Amino acid sequence: MPQEHTFLLDLPDVLEALGLNVWVANGYEYGQGDYLWTNPHTGVGSYDEKPFGYMVHHSAGSSATPPPSDTSKAGAWIGLLRDGKLYQEGGGVPTINLASAGPALISSGYGYRPAAWDYTFEQRRAPAKAEGSDGDTALNRYSFNMETVHRGDGTTLDPGVFDHVVGLGIALQQMCELSEMTLGHRSWTTRKIDPYWNNDPNCIIDVQNRVADGGVMDPKCPWSSGSDYPACSMHYTPPTDKTLGRGDGEAQGQCHVPDSQHAAVDWAFSSNRFRAGNSYRYDYTTVLTEGREMVFEYRDAT
């Protein structure tokens, strides 16, 4: 009988508490092979140990991925869930597919040891790009590996998928009681370029910033239509003329700006998604419409 990797058994519940969509693969609790999470400071592994890093990848090669339960490449896959598969684009629900509570059999591979041992495992932020050549150390048993369903060609990453990439990092840091766990595959080895989306080879820095900031989507988004404010993953997209109105968003089945500017502003600040002077995500734009100042979430669709 396979033995459970116990530390991450509650990860699905932690993710759902953060308002994220989760799909748990069959056999998640048993892992993918003989690797054990291993403490990088002692070299001792066990079924009760935790991961000490969170490595972000892009899947490359294809914009669609089969159900991750059919693969052994990563601990989790994140993409747009549609018809039983995860996609980069074309619609769907941003979803984290948890494939393994234990280390992935393949994913991070060999790399530049100081990137992890001098940075990540010392709770210091890893550089966006590896600073040296590969050694003889593989990172699989130390770092949780996540594959983002993306071609890795610099094209746009769906904003909801980005929120889930960030949310998984936040959940892992909360559970592991560590900081600066996040690094890219490119942080670990010069052989790789991932993650590479939004035309930014250093896009891992955006992920690191958001994970460190602790900001994820509120599961009860007050911009959703309906009195119960249901959870939403499709967010208001401003029309090209930058005017605001309920009709534009509702026609697309997306969230809309509420009537009350105060509700929008209060929620933006309370959920840490808008901060004066901080524009690295371009999340909020203040505009004047119908004589009222309102805040809406801005997603650049280009």
* DSSP, residue by residue, 74-121: -SEEEEEEETTEEESSSS-EEEEEE--SS--SSSS-B--HHIIIIIGG
Topology of the domain covering 11-213: Lysozyme-like (3.40.80)
Answer for the pair 6, 28: CB distance below 8 angstroms, yes or no. Answer: no
Answer for the pair 84, 42: CB distance below 8 angstroms, yes or no. Answer: no
Would the pTM of this model clear 0.85, i.e. be above it?
no
Answer for the pair 225, 181: CB distance below 8 angstroms, yes or no. Answer: no
- The C-alpha atoms of residue 197 and residue 23 are separated, in whole angstroms, by 24
For the residues of 226-244, what is the DSSP string, one character each?
Answer: STT----SS-----TT---
**Surface-to-core class of residue 259, CB atoms within 10 Å of its CB (0-12 exposed, 13-18 middle, 19+ buried):** exposed
Instruction: Delimit the domains of the chain by residue range.
Output: 11-213, 218-302
Give, for all 302 residues of the chain, the pLDDT tens digit.
689 999 999 999 999 888 899 999 888 999 887 899 999 999 999 999 999 999 999 998 765 666 555 555 799 999 999 888 899 999 899 999 999 999 988 788 899 999 999 999 999 999 999 999 999 999 999 999 999 999 999 999 999 999 999 999 999 999 999 999 999 999 999 999 999 999 999 999 999 999 988 755 443 344 333 333 333 333 434 334 333 333 333 333 334 444 343 344 444 445 544 433 333 223 333 322 222 233 333 333 32
Give phi and psi for 197, each to the nearest 5: -145, 170
Secondary structure in 3-state letters for 119-152: HHHHCCCCCCCCCCCCCCCECCCCEEEEEECCCC
Q: What type of residue is 242?
A: K
Cα angle at 168 between 41 and 275, to 5 degrees? 110
| Cis upstream peptide for 94 (omega within 30°) | no
The pairing of strands 284-289 and 182-184 is unpaired
Answer for the pair 154, 196: CB distance below 8 angstroms, yes or no. Answer: yes
Instruction: Read off the DSSP letter of residue 279.
Output: -
DSSP SS3 for 11: helix
Least Cα distance to 193 among 129, 98, 278, 252 occurs for 129
Answer for the pair 179, 173: CB distance below 8 angstroms, yes or no. Answer: yes
The pairing of strands 76-82 and 143-148 is parallel
- For tokens 């600073």, what's the residue? 131
Token pair recorded at residue 186: 């490119």
